[in-house]
Amino acid sequence: MEEKFSATLENIQEAALTEFLEKGFQGASLRQIVKNAGVTTGAFYGYFSSKEALFNALVEPHAAALMGKFMEAQISFAELPEEQQPEHMGVESSSCVHWMVDYICRHREPVKLLLTRSEGTSYEHFVHNMVEAEVEYTLQYIEVLRRLGREVPNLSRSLCHIIASGMFSGIFEIVVHDMPKEQALRDVDQLRDFYTAGWLKLMGA
């Protein structure tokens, strides 16, 4: 009985992954998912309460993993003694980005759902939320630099948002274009070098 339950669950999730990737959450048909999974609508509701619950089940572990690693890197940097933060700038984020690239390449399809097919769900602002967190920690770091005696020009929240949004959009291009892992790592490293140089220029370093 348990094996049958697991097999049916797997069939539903595989059918849903295909349908959501092709049509996005809003365009996906629950009727088509059920048909392709080879189950009845009544049987479907024994596994999931709604189409959104099914979508969430596919993307939630990956959203939690990506956001969790990202926040871990941010907090780890912010908790360093202030005088040590400038010399660590980019170290934690480099490790985090490499981890994210590897994770994305190992879970391409559900991550693509999360990043490009989630409009209409609670995950549609996932990247925006990541950008907002990046902005908050960037502004905190600017204040640290000022307390350390650095002359940092006034950088608006809107500018920080634009820069962070551009950076994350660039990183997640590896999902949009299904880049091979080696190419993704190389491109993202060079993208980080580009943004790091820009930040150093803006911060008067």
- Give me the residue spans of the domains in the chain: 1-49, 58-202
Burial 141-180 (b: 16+ CB within 10 A, else e): bbebbeeeeeebeeeeeeebbebbbebbeebbebbeeebe
Q: Is 11 exposed, middle or buried (CB count within 10 Å of its CB: 0-12, 13-18, 19+)?
A: middle
CATH topology of domain 1-49: Arc Repressor Mutant, subunit A (1.10.10)
Contact 81, 126 (CB under 8 A): no
pLDDT per residue, tens digit, the chain (205 aa), is 566 778 899 999 999 999 999 999 999 999 999 999 999 999 999 999 999 999 999 999 999 999 999 999 999 999 999 999 988 887 778 889 999 999 999 999 999 999 999 999 999 999 999 999 999 999 999 999 999 999 899 999 999 999 999 999 999 999 989 999 999 999 999 999 999 899 888 887 6
The DSSP line for 58-103 is: HHHHHHHHHHHHHHHHHHHHHTS-GGGHHHHTTHHHHHHHHHHHHH
Q: How far apart are CA 51 and CA 74, in angstroms?
A: 34
Neighbouring C-beta atoms of residue 205, cutoff 10 Å: 12
Q: Per the confidence metrics, is the pTM higher than 0.85?
A: yes
**Per-residue pLDDT at 88:** 86
